[in-house]
Structure 1
Amino acid sequence: MSFLSRAALAAAMTITFFGLTAQSTAGLAAEVEHMLPQPNATAPMTATVFTPTPTTVQVPNPTDLADDELANEETVAYPSLAAAVAAQSTHDGDDEALQCLAGAIYFETRGEPLSGQLAVAEVILNRAKSGRFPSDVCDVITQRGQFGFVRGGRIPSINEDSKAYRTAVAVAKVALNDAWDDQAGPALYFNRGRPPASGLKKVASIGNHIFWR
């Protein structure tokens, strides 16, 4: 083999060797790249958000009833006017104001709804507080020309054992203790017809009576 032939053969083998080496290196790089985690070009970047666990607050139980105003009998909440009336005693050393008020309720409204009886009682109490009438309950009732049942400045005698009078006493106690809100509110007058005086405003109509202020 001539020198030129040997040189040509050596050159060819060198080119082949470098070609194989380049191909192997590229293949290895691709294989290594495939083994590495690939970023997802289409998936959006996400972040983990920390959400605190809600805290449960324990509400304390109501205080013992011994500390409650209802348990101490400072105030009493009745479910109805009838219940408030039924809860009152009718004979326990009643004072004069209570007897006068019960007498007025008896003569003016016996047989009327309890709401009407209470409204009449409130008119009398409103007068006593108004400064326009006597300040004493009995004096309000016996004031001349105000209540038709009054005879000679006195309230007639009543059968105190009658059911109607016992109811009147209980209603009077409800009114005096402010144990129920009446429907007549600030009324100072009541009758069964037109206003007893000009300029008065109608407040309510209960039973057979109209209440005015």
Structure 2
Amino acid sequence: MKISLKRAGAIALASTVFASSFGTAVSGAIAQDQTDPVVAELAQTEFEVPQNAAEPTADEQVRFVASEVVQDVPETPEVEETDASSLRELVHTVDTSGELSREMMCLAQAVYFESRGEPLDGQLAVARVIINRAESDTFPDDYCSVVTQRSQFSFVRGGRIPAPNRGTTAWNRAKAIARIAHRDLWESPADDALYFHATYVRPSWARRMTTRARINNHIFYR
């Protein structure tokens, strides 16, 4: 069963286990039929009780693990209500001072590199595409895997996302947009879009898609 990120909530998992786990040339995200979901294998090892030892009771049985490993999981979406009258007002009210989880960092970086010059609703739409992909059966199950999927986002190089210019207004705004999208605090005009591209290109795959929105320099599709 495929586990995906859901807008209404996500299950935070942190386990003490013995673990064995492990662009396109233009701006925009292009569809691919194949996926490469991340698979985590978990195993637990018990030490054997010597034959001459007394059989422990159920309360006395102790399970040991070789080392402590904490699995990195995305922030848990919070069900919130907002009194903001506009997306801009909401962005200004979102606290961006705290540290981001790895998954939220990937989402914010994608917003920053792909759409920091776009209006706020355009940035929100980019974030929504990534979230929709993580919830889809067609793409990987988490934000980082969606963003770094081969030949999808032109700013990704060799499977690595470059570092943003921290401390700038654009980066703080991208973090706020990522949190707003992740918590589903504002409706996006992109709705359920899974793909987008810049308006200055005409990719052949777009003819097979249904247009969801055109926001400034991007067109979004399902």
Matched, 1:205 2:214: yes
User: Which residue of 178, 181, 192 maps to 2:187?
Assistant: 181
Please name the residue that 2:134 is paired with.
Answer: 128
What SS does structure 1 have at the residue aligned with 2:81?
A: coil
- Percent identity reads 49
Change (3 A) 1:74 1:210: closer
Please name the residue that 1:92 is paired with.
Answer: 98
User: Which residue of 118, 124, 143 maps to 2:124?
Assistant: 118
Letter in 2 for 1:194: R
Bigger relative CO (Cα 8 Å, ≥ 6 apart): 2
Whose helix proportion is higher, 1 or 2? 1
Would the aligned equivalents of 1:195 and 1:212 in 2 still touch at CA under 8 Å? no
Would the aligned equivalents of 1:122 and 1:182 in 2 still touch at CA under 8 Å? yes
The alpha carbon displacement at 1:79 in A equals: 0.8
The TM-score normalised by the length of structure 1 is 0.63
What SS does structure 2 have at the residue aligned with 1:148?
A: coil
Would the aligned equivalents of 2:134 and 2:142 in 1 still touch at CA under 8 Å? yes
The alpha carbon displacement at 1:203 in A equals: 0.9
1:125-204 aligned at under 5 Å gives the runs 125-192=131-198, 193-195=201-203, 197=205, 198-204=207-213
The alpha carbon displacement at 1:195 in A equals: 4.8
What SS does structure 2 have at the residue aligned with 1:173?
A: helix
Change (3 A) 1:196 1:110: farther
What SS does structure 2 have at the residue aligned with 1:116?
A: helix
Letter in 2 for 1:154: R
Letter in 2 for 1:209: H
Q: Which has the larger radius of gyration?
A: 1
The alpha carbon displacement at 1:74 in A equals: 4.2
The alpha carbon displacement at 1:78 in A equals: 1.9
Q: How many residues are paired up?
A: 141
- The separation in 2 between residues aligned to 1:85 and 1:131, in whole angstroms, is 30
Unaligned regions of 5+ residues in structure 2, if any? 1-78
1:49-60 aligned at under 5 Å gives the runs none
What SS does structure 2 have at the residue aligned with 1:111?
A: coil
- The separation in 2 between residues aligned to 1:88 and 1:205, in whole angstroms, is 26
Would the aligned equivalents of 1:187 and 1:203 in 2 still touch at CA under 8 Å? yes
- The separation in 2 between residues aligned to 1:89 and 1:171, in whole angstroms, is 11
- The separation in 1 between residues aligned to 2:80 and 2:217, in whole angstroms, is 34
- The separation in 2 between residues aligned to 1:99 and 1:84, in whole angstroms, is 20
Q: RMSD between aligned alpha carbons?
A: 1.4
- The separation in 2 between residues aligned to 1:113 and 1:155, in whole angstroms, is 22
Change (3 A) 1:74 1:180: closer
The TM-score normalised by the length of structure 2 is 0.61
